[in-house]
Structure 1
Amino acid sequence: MSTIIMAACWPLQGMSPAQKAVLISLADQANDDGVCWPSVNTIGLRTCLSERAVQAALKWLEEQGALLRDHRSQRSTMYTVTPQALVGEITRTVHYVYRITHTPSGQFYIGLRTCGGDPLEDSSYFGSGVSAEWLAKRKADCVKEIVASFEHRHQAAQFETAEIALAIQNPRCLNRKVSAPGSATHGRHVVADPADAAPAAPAPANGAPHPAASAPSTPQHLHLDGAASAPGTINEPSVEPSREPLPAAAPPVAAKGRADKAKGGEAEETALQAACRATWAAYAEAYGARYGARPVRNAQVNAKVKQFVQRIGYDEAPAVAKFYVERVADAYVTRECHPVGTLLQKAEGYRTQWAAGHAMTSTRARQMDQSQANFDAAEEAMAILRQRRGELEGGSNA
């Protein structure tokens, strides 16, 4: 059953009860693409209609464009329910992952949204919950970016989970914490509150040490097992995010060293994220210009892009990815529509071709091989001539 198709069918008017019953029956059995294949007898049993009445309703729905029929030999007919045709326009349901960034503070939030039509026209949506309300109040200082869009929600949910897993290393990410083991939300991403540290209690008047000073702090562990490919359920915090985190006590020397190292790792991860985004943007732009369609992006593709950037370098990776789509014309690569996997597999070779300014096709390789063979043959002939000339000069001197 597809709730999307059902929701689009229920409000429709201008048809008989029998036609509406048949349409709802098909929508109830259809998937999110509107496809199902029940027999006429099954539709009749579900709607309490005769076979003749079902056939008449199917014919009318097909004539109105609300139904497409694919008559298959020796198999039941396949139906595609398209209720949008009855309302005068076709609105495509899109599931997209968005990123909202508060420019002054650098804090950002990643979420998932389902809308009908173009996601770019859904700019007023800022999510739900405390963090979203905090960002919405500062809408003038925020930038909303559509990271990726999908036809199916489970694909968008998988991508959202992978995107959050990559972004949680950044302390400015409002999705950066994950629930602890044993909790009801274990394995799910939880929206972080930058000011979630509890205010320090006042020190005792008698000068005794603070009770919390000697107690070891419990670190926040990130638990991603079991949720890497599952849709992320986002739990909003109950405290409004704050720009200024509470000051912490000065750490010991060893702890400070570890903190500096972790800070350096966060900066490195941030630079890597920026390079991955730039590389994907260059690849997707060239891909769309060449094929007229957006490339598929999922967790597996993200991992390959990250490996490619690490192998080639942050600065050169975007240009090499663009060169790969625009200039590489090998038969296999073109037939497979320039997959990211091939770009990663031959990363260093494509980088060399990019630096040289030309792509190495099989025809060019054969030409270069033939040229080298001709050159070798000429060198061999010249060596033979020099040898004979030396022999003749030696004989004349004698």
Structure 2
Amino acid sequence: MSIHLMSRAWSMPIPTSQKMVLLALADRANDDGECWPGQTELASKCSMSNRNVIRMIDWLEARGALHSERRQTGNARRSNRYTLTLDQFKPESDNLSHANLAHDNLACDTVSPPNVTTATLESDTVSHSYKEEPSLNHQSEPSLGADVVPTTLPAKSKPSAKADPNPLNVETWKAYAVAYRMRYQADPVRNAKVNGQIKQLVLRLGNAAPDVARFYVDHNSAYYVGRCHVVDCLLSDAEKLHTEWQTGRRVTQTAAMQADRTQSNLESHRSALDMLNAKYGGMNAAA
């Protein structure tokens, strides 16, 4: 896995499905950006069909984010070679962006018109009924002038929706959840407790919280793996993980024990030297 390419892929302004495929490729790529994963493997990692994986790869290649090369030995078909070229990525034009957005939201577009038509028909029906059928009060009592007081009060306006949550909280959870699904092929647990822990993580780490959350899920510490990278461990070790993410050095339990043994040996040697200095230093002073 190339950490540099993974970090670059996360920050690219591309749709979610394309980003999932790009992250899966970066997860398999070497430092030169080359990898040879099969389409079935990519489909499993990204939770999509082989056909959709091919479509996402074509989308990325058309914009310069990668280059694919067919490989074949004799009559045997082999997996393609993919080379990530993120520096050559060219964002799509506005027209193409709108076209893709319309295509991706085809289901929403299909559902919306009937609702709008129904609402329009209901509005028209109510409107005609109000104009063509005068109220009973108006028929039985003499007119008071051109202005007619409505028989019903206007509907109260709905209170405005609550403000959106902290965008950094949303981004941190999204980073954690996507990395979790790529590792475990399952969705992480989310409830009120987890939401509160994500909020605390953002308060402690600030803008680095999303990157540290992704780094944590990729951490292969036996303790984290044994607990399936739950958010509890992420929050309790937040500052430790931030240091490891920033320095690129992961402190495992074995490395910590080795450092402890080294420090113990050093202290023993220092004690022995102090004893020798005290003994021979005293003899020299007496002489």
Q: Which has the higher helix share?
A: 2
TM-score by length of 1: 0.31
TM-score by length of 2: 0.42
